[in-house]
Amino acid sequence: MYIYKAGVLGAGLMGSGIAQVITFSGLPVVLRDMNDALVQKGLGTIRRIYEGRVKKGKMSAEELEQKMALVTPSTSDADFADCDIVIEAIPEEMEIKRKAFAALDAACPEHAILATNTSSLSISAIAAATKRPEKVVGMHFFYPAPVMKLVEVIPGLQTSQETVDATVSFTESLRKLPVRVKECPGFLVNRLLMPYLNEAAFCLQEGAATARAIDDAVVAWGMPMGPFTLADELGVDICAHAGRVMHEGYGPRMAAARVIEKLFAARLFGKKSGAGFYVYDDRPDPMPATIAEVQKETGMKGTGFSVERLLYPMVNEAALCLEEGIAAPSDIDLAMMAGTGFPMAKEGLLRWADEVGLDRIFGALEKWTKELGPRFWPAPLLRRMVGAGMVGKTGRKGFFEYVQ
C-alpha cells in the first residue's frame, strides 16, 4: 500500500510536529483539531519550524511556502475522506481516543490506516472502537517529532501484517527509524525509561543526592540530560500518567516514587507550570519541604546514590522485554539510542551491559533488592544467563555474542 496523503488529528505540539515531518517528506497533510484557533496555532508551530531552517540556510523562503501549502487546515473529520493514513495525537485518555477512532472509522476510506501516537495505552483497546481493527496500529513518535528519529510501530492483537509493513515503509519515507515493538504497557522505550526516572525520584526523596547532583552525574556519564531535567521538559503530569499505566500493567515494581505523586497533586508539572523538580519562576523552591514530608511518611532516608542505581533497572527491564518477545536486542539498543539519547559511544543499553558484566549487574540488583525493595528483583532471564556463564564480553556471550 502506498500513502499519497496523510491526516493528523490533533494540532498541539506533537500533532503539528508530526504534520511538519510529513510535509517535509513532500506529502500533503490534513491538520485537524476541535476549532480554528487550535488549528491556526498548530500551523504557526509548523511555520516556526520551517523558519528555523530558513535562518540556518537549510531552505529558502520560497521552499518554506511550498511546504506550508501542503498543509490543509481542518476542523472536520470529513476532510480525512481521501487520506490513506490518519495519525491521532490527542490527549492520553482511553475514552477520548476510542471516541475519536470511532469517528475516524466512519469518516475515512475503507483502505485507510488509522494510527495512534499513544505512548502507553493499549492499541488493541483503541482498535476495538472501530470496525477495522486490522487497520489500526500504534505509531509512536518521540518529542520533538521533527528532531527525534525513532518511531515505535506497535501492532495490536488484530493488526494485519499488511498494515504493519505499510506503516514501517511510511515511517522510512519520513526519514525516521521504525522499530517494531510488541504491544505492552509503555511499549519499549517508555517501559525502559520509567524505572530510570522513577529510581532517580526515589534517590531524591530518600536524600541520596539532590536533583542537581543526580542530573549532573548522569550527564557526566553520557546521557544528553538528567532525569529531572527530562521530566520537567516532558511534564511531570505526563510522567505520572505513564507511570500509572505501567503500574497497573506490571504491578508493584513500577509503583511511582511518592515525590512524583506529590508534585502531580500540587500541579507542579515542570517547565509548563513554572515549577516541578526545579523552579522556573520566582516562587520558593517547594522541593525541600516535599522531600521532608515524604521521608516522614516512608521512614526512608540517607540511602546511597550512584548512576548505576538508575541504569541497572533499565537493563533488568530490558531483560524482561526480551523474555516477553517485545523486541530484539539490536532493536532495543537502537531504540534507546534514537529515542532517549543513550550515548552512541556505549553502543546501546544491552551492549553497554555486556561490557559492564551481567554478573556485576545481577549482583548489584540482588543487593539493592535486600536493601531497597523488590523493585530491583532480577529478571529470570538475567538470572539464567549469569548461571550459564553468559555474563557479557568476558564470557564471549551475553545479550550479544563476541568473538575473541
Is 111 considered catalytic here? no
Fold agreement between 6-180 and 189-298: no
For residue 207, give the DSSP letter: T
Catalytic residue among 111, 140, 241, 247: 140
What's the CATH superfamily of 6-180? Answer: NAD(P)-binding Rossmann-like Domain (3.40.50.720)
CA distances from 27 to 48, 75, 397 (A): 19, 20, 45
- Write out the chain's pLDDT in tens, 404 residues: 889 999 999 999 999 999 999 999 999 999 999 999 999 999 999 999 999 999 999 999 999 999 999 999 999 999 999 999 999 999 989 999 999 999 999 999 999 999 999 988 999 999 999 999 999 999 999 989 999 999 999 999 999 999 999 999 999 999 999 999 999 999 999 999 999 999 999 999 999 999 999 999 999 999 999 999 999 998 999 899 889 989 999 999 999 999 999 999 999 999 999 999 999 999 999 999 999 999 999 999 999 999 999 999 999 999 999 999 999 999 999 999 999 999 998 999 999 999 999 999 999 999 999 999 999 999 999 999 999 999 999 999 999 999 86
pTM (predicted TM-score): 0.91
Say which CATH topology domain 189-298 has: N-(1-d-carboxylethyl)-l-norvaline Dehydrogenase; domain 2 (1.10.1040)
Domain range list for the chain: 6-180, 189-298, 307-395
Angle separating helix axes 189-205 and 236-250, nearest 10 degrees: 110
CATH class (in words) of the domain with range 307-395: mainly alpha
| Residues counted in the chain | 404
* Burial (CB count <10 Å: 0-12, 13-18, 19+), residue 249: middle
